[in-house]
Structure 1
Amino acid sequence: MNCNNSSGGVIQVFCKAPVPGKVKTRLIPELGAEGAARLHAHLANSTFTKISERMTGVAELWCAPDTSDPFFQEAGETHDFSLHEQHGKDLGERMAFALCQAVEKYQWAILIGTDCPELHAGIIDEAKRKLEGGEEIVFGPAADGGFYLVGLRRYPQGLFSNMQWGDENVMKEIEARLERSALSCCMLDTLNDLDRPEDLARFPELMQQTGIKNYELD
């Protein structure tokens, strides 16, 4: 699909409502359900701020399970994000739905999550420049084998279908699919997500910022 209706692009942020027991579940043994939810909310708000501080166009917040949570309502009002409900049986379907919606209306779309503390506005600006310069697809690979950003000018059919999400070979599989489709892909810097207990040691300052008391560095 190619856009032909509007100029410029759109940034899409995928986020779950910070409900204890429903987010950052792999961190619950270390942080507890409340602590994991608090960390998730902190990471999300930090991501929202990074986007809004440099936003010169359209930004969309794609919400799960829906847009009704007060957390999303406040984020939309504070940062001038439009709110959208995620649709799909798994992450791949949900991302495909959002990206296909975007490229029908805009020249390019960049989709990010909220799990990467190392993501900064400069990386997003670089992805924009690559797409506006003619790159068809841009990925920000994560050190755990996934990715923290995808940008594209059109959505290749089946790009995210039947994927083992959370597997360390996600990015490798996507690169193989792109190669088979003869589609070029530009890679950004590799960054660290915060998903697993072993990731916590990389970001001790987040524990202080969120006021989480029951986590101690080894």
Structure 2
Amino acid sequence: MALPRIALFARYPTPGAAKTRLIPALGDVGAAALHRKLVELTVAAARKSGLPFEVRVTGGTAAAFADWLGADVPLVPQGEGDLGARLARVAAPMLLIGSDCPDLTPTHLIAAAEALKTSAAVLGPAGDGGYWLLGLAQALPGCFQAMPWGTETVAAETRSRLAAEGITAAELETLHDCDRPEDLARWPWLTR
């Protein structure tokens, strides 16, 4: 199997449009600044992993993303549809990640790629019931259709859908997302 490609899903850090659930705690500009920092940390982890990667972008022009992240970062428009439709467009083998997980390291990404050598899927569960990574050796669009995104049941529902395909995902360690105001206390350095 070819090396999986990391597909990092990222929104441009426009105040008022990025990390909206954190706006009550940080304000429009603060939430956008935090989002900018999280995306930059995640791109750095992807680079350091040595795995092929691309940033799936929305909310800004290609030029704005290139100015921000660097002209050498491969950019792919996310396209239309809900998150499930956008995830389903990534070619397998894939490692799907967002930019919500400050503790993500290159080692986590390498471990996920290693797991895909012997498993059809790999899941990095998040402490809130979602996931910080989903890796698939082959395309499984049914994994993403009508998913209750943003809820505490996403990881469990994903496991169930994989099981319906006869797949048991390899599981990585549980990490935590930074999505809500109460999450900020876990990483005080993020808002400095």
**Range class of TM-score, shorter chain:** over 0.9
1:171 pairs with 155, 161, 177, which one? 155
Query: Is the aligned partner of 1:39 residue 2:40?
Result: no
CA change 1:12–1:73 in 2 (3 A) is: farther
2:6 pairs with 11, 16, 24, which one? 11
Match of 1:60 in 2: 54
Q: Give 1:179's aligned amino acid.
A: A
Asked if the contact 2:3/2:113 (under 8 Å) is kept, the reply is no
Q: Give 2:29's aligned amino acid.
A: E
CA RMSD of aligned residues (A): 1.6
Gaps of 5+ in 1: 209-218
Task: Report how far residue 109 of structure 1 moved.
Answer: 1.4
Tell which structure's C-alpha radius of gyration is larger: 1
Match of 2:74 in 1: 82
SS at match of 1:154: coil
Task: Report how far residue 181 of structure 1 moved.
Answer: 2.2
2:191 and 2:3 map into 1 onto residues whose CA distance is 38
How many residues in Structure 1 have an aligned counterpart in Structure 2? 192
2:85 and 2:115 map into 1 onto residues whose CA distance is 25
2:135 pairs with 135, 151, 157, which one? 151
Asked if the contact 1:76/1:83 (under 8 Å) is kept, the reply is no
Q: Deviations over 1:85-120 (max 9, x none)?
A: 00231111111112xxx22xxxx2111111100111
CA change 1:62–1:31 in 2 (3 A) is: same
Query: Is the aligned partner of 1:136 residue 2:120?
Result: yes
Match of 2:85 in 1: 93
CA change 1:43–1:137 in 2 (3 A) is: same
Superposition misfits of 4+ residues, deviation over 3 angstroms: 71-74
Match of 1:199 in 2: 183
Task: Report how far residue 157 of structure 1 moved.
Answer: 3.4
1:13-28 matched pairs, under 5 angstroms? 13-28=8-23
Match of 2:65 in 1: 71
Task: Report how far residue 180 of structure 1 moved.
Answer: 2.1
TM score, norm. by length of structure 1: 0.83
Task: Report how far residue 66 of structure 1 moved.
Answer: 5.1
